[in-house]
Amino acid sequence: MTRRPDGALERDVLAALWTGEHALTPGEVLARLDGTLAYTTVATVLGRLHGKGLVERRLDGRAFRYRAVMSEGEMVARSIGRALTSATDRRAVMSRFVSGLSKRDARVLRSVLDELDT
C-alpha cells in the first residue's frame, strides 16, 4: 500500500467537499474518493478538519454532514499569506515565486494586479 504525502488525505477530503453542492456525510465523501479508504478513516479526517476549524458540521439523523468553511482559493491564499508572513525577505520570496510562474499564470497575476489598481 502506498503512503500518501503528509496532508494529502486532508486535501483530498476537502476537494470532495468543494465539489459537493451541499454538506456531505462521511459516506458521501468516501464515495467521491478513490475507494481504498475505510469509512472510519474518512470520518476521522473530517473530525480533525472540524477540530482545525476548516469544516463545519451539523447532525442529520445519526450522521454528521460536513461543509468546508472556505473555498479552495481562500484556503490556498491563506496558506501563501502565512508563508509570506514568515519570510524575512518578502521581496525575494515574491520574486522567486513570480519567476517560477508559467506564462499563463503570469498573465493571470498581471490581470489581477491591474484590477486591484483600478
Is residue 55 one of the residues assigned to a domain?
yes
Is residue 45 one of the residues assigned to a domain?
yes
Q: Are 94 and 86 a contacting pair, CB within 8 Å?
A: no
What CATH number should be reported for the domain holding residue 19?
1.10.10.10
Is residue 91 one of the residues assigned to a domain?
no
Range of the domain at 24: 8-68
**pLDDT tens figures, 109-118:** 999 999 998 8
Is residue 96 one of the residues assigned to a domain?
no
Q: Are 69 and 57 a contacting pair, CB within 8 Å?
A: no
- Residue from 73, 11, 77 nearest 85 by CA: 77
Band (36; pLDDT cuts 50, 70, 90)? confident
Structurally, the chain folds into a number of domains equal to 1
Band (2; pLDDT cuts 50, 70, 90)? low
Is residue 23 one of the residues assigned to a domain?
yes
- What value does the mean pLDDT of the chain take? 92
**Structure-block grid coordinates of residue 13:** 477530503
Is 0.85 topped by the overall pTM?
Answer: no
**pLDDT tens figures, 75-94:** 999 999 999 999 999 999 99
Is residue 89 one of the residues assigned to a domain?
no
Burial of 86 (0-12, 13-18, 19+ CB in 10 A): exposed
